[in-house]
Amino acid sequence: MKILKISLVAALICAASVSADEAKPKRSLKGNMTEVYNTLPKSVDNIGAAFTEGVFYGRLRANSFRWDWKDNANGDNKAFGAGGSILYKTAPLYGISATAGLYYSNSPISNWRQDNSDVGDVKSGKDTFSRYNVKKDGDWQMAVLAQAYLQYNISKTDFKFGRQIFESALTASNDTKMIPNTFEGVSVESKDLPDTTLKAAYFTAQKLRDHTTFHDVLTFKDSSGESWDNNDDSGVHKGITHARLQAANKDTDHELIVAAVSNKSIPNLKADATYTAVPHMVSSIIGELNYAIAIGSVTITPGVRYMKQFDNGAGKIGGASLSGNINAANAGLNGYKSGDSLDTSLWMARLSAAVGAFKGQVGYSKVEDKADIVAPWRGFPTGGYTRAMAQLNWKANAETLMFEAKYDFGKADILDGFSTTARYAIQDSDEAKQGKGGGQADLTIIHIDLNQQITPQLDAKFRLGIVNADSRVTGLNKDSYNEYRFEVNYLF
């Protein structure tokens, strides 16, 4: 494994030196760090050319984090990761192609990371390493084949078989750290119907950003009770454990099914619907409408999103709260109306305005006062409406109001390649759920992003989060902190 890691670093450096003079990158990054492919291999007519005409894509990146709690008893923490990825796509032969992506991350500076014994204190920066590997072997490096799939294209329809990225309402690569969140299974995306995109997937495993192995899509903890070797996402339901599933005579291996449609047949209207399910456990339906209205040089876009979550058996096992500590017996004492049901809903609304280099938005979300939303697949239920950096605001009876402003200084011909985003959110949590329910206190969030595209291949970003929260009912302030992030990306 050490030879593999050293070889990957060498390959990244060599490929970067070869491609440094290219004027236009083969890939570029969106604001949410998802990758856009500007260059793809062209179709060929023989198997030899499928490989010789394939395309390599490289990425060097570094991320640093500092988390400063107001209450130092929570454990101030820091993290740093450096590494990158090499991805190769074969040229399509009769519509068939293959993709493989090898990713690497290392935290080599001992005074820029926590001690091995304090690895559990790390918050956002935990995705630069594997907590499980550090705990088990003291290993701060990750090397993983996160993407490896066959692809078949016919007309405007693509089928993928294997390890892959899949973007939908509740599933996402969320590639803002070192290694993306990926899934293992089968997916299809079709644009053959006019103004319509259809997507579907059947996944049997997931690899979170700080994991080097694929694991179950829902189960928390493994057969030995280890928390960091299965689905340990920040939004995971901690009550749906391997032990509880076995005690209930339920399967500990689950599948994730996604079906989505997006339509733009009506001028200026974008309509989306997504179905997500872990069979026999939990499922949801999400509907969303956004309508753009042009008023002179200003575009006003009202949008709404509604999510209905259905309990298909998970509530009896894990309870109504993501904490895993709520059941029918203690629900009333901890602010939950039903302790063993995950039936609930979430609705959101926003109003955005765009003119020239400026875009502003106000968004609102409200979770029904029944159960928490289950979404451990890195697609955020309130994303694009009220979710600020590092916040999980989809617990029962949570209410959020957020103001957002973006300004592109490059587009305004003020400072080439520079843009900024600022968010201010007011989050009203349910104090009655702070005990066993694991709820937060009421808080406000200031979140600022400063982005600089230094060259077409090189980007840098500074992120600041300031959270001011009330003390919890116990009198402790467990939710106030300042967070600082800096990241650099070089694509070749």
Per-residue pLDDT for the chain (492 aa), expressed as one digit of tens each? 444 444 444 444 444 444 444 467 899 999 888 899 999 999 999 999 999 999 999 999 999 999 999 987 678 999 999 999 999 999 999 999 999 999 999 999 999 999 999 999 999 999 999 999 999 999 999 999 999 999 999 999 999 999 999 999 999 999 999 999 999 999 999 999 999 999 999 999 999 999 999 999 999 999 999 999 999 999 999 999 999 999 999 999 999 999 999 999 999 999 999 999 999 999 999 999 999 999 999 999 999 999 999 999 999 999 999 999 999 999 999 999 999 999 999 999 999 999 999 999 999 999 999 999 999 999 999 999 999 999 999 999 999 999 999 999 999 999 999 999 999 999 999 999 999 999 999 999 999 999 999 999 999 999 999 999 999 998 899 999 999 999 999 999
Close Cβ partners of 95 (under 8 Å, ≥ 6 residues apart): 152, 153, 154
Q: How far apart are CA 398 and CA 357, in angstroms?
A: 33
Alpha helices in 121-273 (DSSP H): 131-137, 242-247
Please count the other Cβ atoms lying within 10 Å of the Cβ belonging to residue 458: 17
What is the rounded CA–CA span in Å between residue 81 and residue 107?
5
The confidence score (pLDDT) of residue 1 equals: 44
SS3 label, residue 32: coil
Indicate if the alpha-carbon torsion angle 473, 474, 476, 481 is positive or negative: negative
Q: Pull the structure tokens for residue 148.
A: 């490896």
pLDDT value for 45: 96
Phi/psi region, residue 162 (left: phi>0; alpha: psi -120 to 50; beta: rest), is: left
Burial 174-203 (b: 16+ CB within 10 A, else e): bbbbbbbbbbbbbbebbeeeeeebbbbbeb
Beta strands in 326-417 (DSSP E): 344-355, 358-367, 399-408
The angle subtended at Cα 288 by Cα 284 and Cα 292, nearest 5°, is 170
pLDDT at 74 (0 to 100): 72
Looking at residue 196, what is its pLDDT? Answer: 98
Full-model pTM: 0.93
- What is d(CA 301, CA 362) in angstroms, rounded to the nearest whole number? 11
Integer Cα distance of 130 and 48 in angstroms: 38
Instruction: Please state, as a whole number, how many other Cβ atoms lie within 10 Å of the Cβ of residue 285.
Output: 17
Token pair listed for 378: 């890195």
User: What residue type is assigned to position 255 of the chain?
Assistant: E
| Cα separation, 230 vs 207, whole angstroms | 9
Q: Which residue has the tokens 């230094």?
A: 454
Report the first-to-last Cα separation within the chain, whole angstroms. 25
Cα–Cα dist 201/277, whole Å? 11
Rounded Cα distance between 262 and 362, Å, is 23
For the chain, the residue count is 492
What pLDDT does 75 receive?
81
> What φ, ψ does residue 312 adopt, rounded to 5°?
-110, 20
pLDDT of residue 23: 63
3-state secondary structure at position 431: helix
Query: What is the C-alpha to C-alpha distance for residues 256 and 216, in angstroms, rounded to an integer?
Result: 9
pLDDT number for residue 8: 44
